[in-house]
């Protein structure tokens, strides 16, 4: 299925060659503005920091993080990472010298990629702002003028360090410190790009802000770092999409996303990730939700070789609510180890986790979740529902729900179900003229429908289309 042969992006053939993964093409870009050598050591970390012209505190932060990364063992749970070689990865690649504000100024090869992904078109139709990251750096950025006039900041994280140093330092790495886990430490050492968002008090943004992450190079590591601060009573919907070319060697995507949702604010973070099946996707995402606020993670995990991702919400003050809706699709050779964490630190907080996973063609999906209720966090409620659908006997699904409760006065519900795609359902639909592939795709679409209908129209359509692509060629 995968190949190293360069395929020109304008050649339609790649769509056929890569089977159902439609984003497997890559640009034959040789003119990188800067490319670090392969591997990871303090010298590389220093070089990245120097390239970016960072203040000393950040250089030191990176070096300290590298030491933490090196001192930590690989996790012995989750997925198989035995063929992930940290020295066989490029940690920093800069494709273009400048970040542009007009698509016309983005270098042609790169622009063509985003055209094929439909980003400029989506921007015109229904987005408030866009960031496009290509390998290590953001190459395009826009934000509607009226929003910037209201004080909204939507920039890349590198620029934020330069342009808003105080705001940056107040929050950066406070939600997820480098010592949180091995991959958070790795990201902290080599981070580059990502989105920085600040929504001022009371500002409600109607249309989503979107970031698009594209890995282009072989053996590339992408380590974006996103920080979102939603001030009191404000609201925002942020969407990220991710794709990569299909290569026979491994790529690594290890992001850190930190979010602060202040009193009475709302934040919805939607991910529609569709990595090619050579990408290790090891991501740490955490939000802190304050009084009467609402934080929602909507997480669509398609593709990748191994995804380990458990978006967390810490409910810090009374009235805070957290919700995670996640969909995982594990196809051939893929392992989705995904889930959610809800940490109730205050009384009268509530959380809900809905997780749906689909495994087919030998794919494996695991739900791994934690609900933790701290002492004195009285009158909390938490509701967890996870459903798995297994399409064939070669595929697999596991559930690892952890519940830690230090308080009596709480209500926790947990339901889990695993179903095999029903023969009777297939026959019923086929007896109405649907092919086996169409019938299974329809059953799968129906299975995730309760989640998909939570998405804005455009993303719901995108999600269904991606699932259909995954289901193509699934039978016969």
Q: Which residues make up the interface to other proteins (CB under 8 A)? A: 422-425, 427-439, 442-443, 445-450, 472
Element housing 117 (H / E): helix 108-117
Q: Which is nearer to other proteins, 204 or 465 (CB)?
A: 465
Cα–chain center distance at 317? 26
Q: How far is the CB of 305 from other proteins (least distance, A)?
A: 27
Q: Which is nearer to other proteins, 60 or 419 (CB)?
A: 419
Q: How far is the CB of 26 from other proteins (least distance, A)?
A: 25
Q: How far is the CB of 389 from other proteins (least distance, A)?
A: 10
Q: How far is the CB of 324 from other proteins (least distance, A)?
A: 20
- Looking at the DSSP bridge assignments, the partners of residue 287 are 259, 313
Element housing 42 (H / E): helix 42-51
Q: How far is the CB of 465 from other proteins (least distance, A)?
A: 11
Q: CA 440, CA 185: separation in Å to the nearest integer?
A: 41
* Exposed e or buried b per residue across 427-451, where buried means at least 16 C-beta atoms within 10 angstroms of its C-beta: eebeeeebeeeebbbbbbeebbeeb
Q: CA 286, CA 308: separation in Å to the nearest integer?
A: 14
Q: How far is the CB of 8 from other proteins (least distance, A)?
A: 25
Q: Which is nearer to other proteins, 418 or 434 (CB)?
A: 434
Q: How far is the CB of 433 from other proteins (least distance, A)?
A: 4
* Exposed e or buried b per residue across 325-354, where buried means at least 16 C-beta atoms within 10 angstroms of its C-beta: bbbbbbbbebbbbbbbbbbbbbbbbbbbbb
333 in Cβ contact with 306 (< 8 Å):
no
Q: How far is the CB of 272 from other proteins (least distance, A)?
A: 19
Q: Which is nearer to other proteins, 42 or 422 (CB)?
A: 422
Q: Which is nearer to other proteins, 49 or 397 (CB)?
A: 397
Q: Which is nearer to other proteins, 8 or 420 (CB)?
A: 420
Q: Which is nearer to other proteins, 302 or 451 (CB)?
A: 451
Q: Name the residue among 66, 274, 287 with its Cα closest to residue 187.
A: 66
Q: Which is nearer to other proteins, 190 or 452 (CB)?
A: 452
* DSSP states of 357-386: EEE-TT-EEEEEEEEEE-TT--SEEEEEEE
Q: CA 97, CA 209: separation in Å to the nearest integer?
A: 24
* DSSP states of 328-362: EEE-TT-EEEEEEEEEE-SSS-EEEEEEEEEE-TT
Element housing 15 (H / E): helix 13-17
Q: Which is nearer to other proteins, 124 or 432 (CB)?
A: 432
Q: How far is the CB of 388 from other proteins (least distance, A)?
A: 14
DSSP state of 158: H
Match 């129209």 to its residue by tokens: 457
């Amino acid at each position: 299925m995968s190949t190293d042969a360069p395929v020109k992006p304008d050649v339609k053939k790649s769509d056929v060659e890569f089977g159902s993964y439609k984003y497997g093409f890559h640009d034959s870009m040789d003119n990188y503005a800067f490319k670090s050598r392969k591997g990871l050591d303090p010298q590389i970390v220093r070089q990245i920091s120097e390239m970016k012209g960072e203040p000393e505190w950040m250089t030191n932060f990176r070096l300290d993080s590298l030491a933490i990364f090196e001192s930590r063992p690989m996790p012995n749970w989750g997925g198989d990472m035995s063929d992930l070689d940290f020295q066989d990865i490029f940690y920093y690649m800069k494709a273009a010298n400048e970040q542009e504000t007009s698509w016309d100024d983005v270098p042609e090869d790169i622009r063509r990629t985003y055209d094929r992904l439909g980003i400029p078109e989506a921007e015109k139709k229904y987005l408030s702002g866009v960031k496009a990251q290509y390998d290590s750096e953001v190459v395009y950025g826009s934000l509607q003028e009226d929003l910037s006039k209201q004080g909204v900041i939507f920039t890349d994280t590198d620029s934020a360090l330069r342009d808003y140093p105080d705001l940056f330092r107040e929050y950066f790495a406070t939600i997820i410190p480098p010592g949180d886990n091995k991959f958070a430490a790795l990201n902290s050492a080599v981070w580059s790009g990502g989105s920085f968002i600040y929504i001022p008090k009371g500002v409600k943004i109607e249309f989503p802000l979107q970031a698009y992450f594209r890995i282009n190079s072989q053996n590339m590591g992408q380590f974006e770092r996103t920080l979102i601060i939603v001030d009191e009573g404000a609201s925002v919907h942020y969407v990220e999409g991710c794709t990569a070319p299909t290569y026979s060697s491994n790529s690594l995507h290890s992001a850190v996303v930190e979010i602060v949702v202040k009193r009475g604010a709302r934040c919805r973070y939607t991910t529609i990730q569709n990595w090619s099946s050579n990408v290790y996707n090891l991501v740490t995402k955490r939000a802190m939700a304050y009084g009467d606020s609402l934080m929602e993670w909507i997480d669509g995990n398609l593709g990748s070789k191994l995804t380990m991702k458990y978006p967390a919400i810490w409910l810090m003050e009374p009235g805070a609510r957290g919700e995670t809706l996640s969909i995982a699709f594990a196809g051939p050779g893929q392992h989705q180890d995904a889930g959610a964490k809800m940490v109730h630190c205050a009384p009268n907080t509530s959380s809900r986790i809905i997780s749906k996973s689909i495994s087919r063609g030998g794919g494996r999906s695991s739900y791994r979740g934690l609900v933790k209720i701290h002492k004195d966090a009285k009158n909390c409620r938490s509701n967890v529902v996870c459903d798995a659908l297994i399409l064939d006997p070669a595929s697999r699904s596991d559930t690892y729900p952890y519940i830690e409760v230090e308080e009596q006065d709480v209500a926790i519900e947990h339901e889990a179900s695993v179903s095999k795609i029903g023969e009777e359902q297939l026959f019923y639909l086929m007896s109405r003229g649907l092919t086996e592939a169409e019938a299974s795709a329809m059953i799968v679409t129906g299975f995730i429908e309760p989640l998909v209908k939570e998405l804005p129209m455009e993303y719901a359509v995108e999600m269904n289309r991606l699932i259909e692509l995954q289901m193509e060629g699934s039978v016969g």
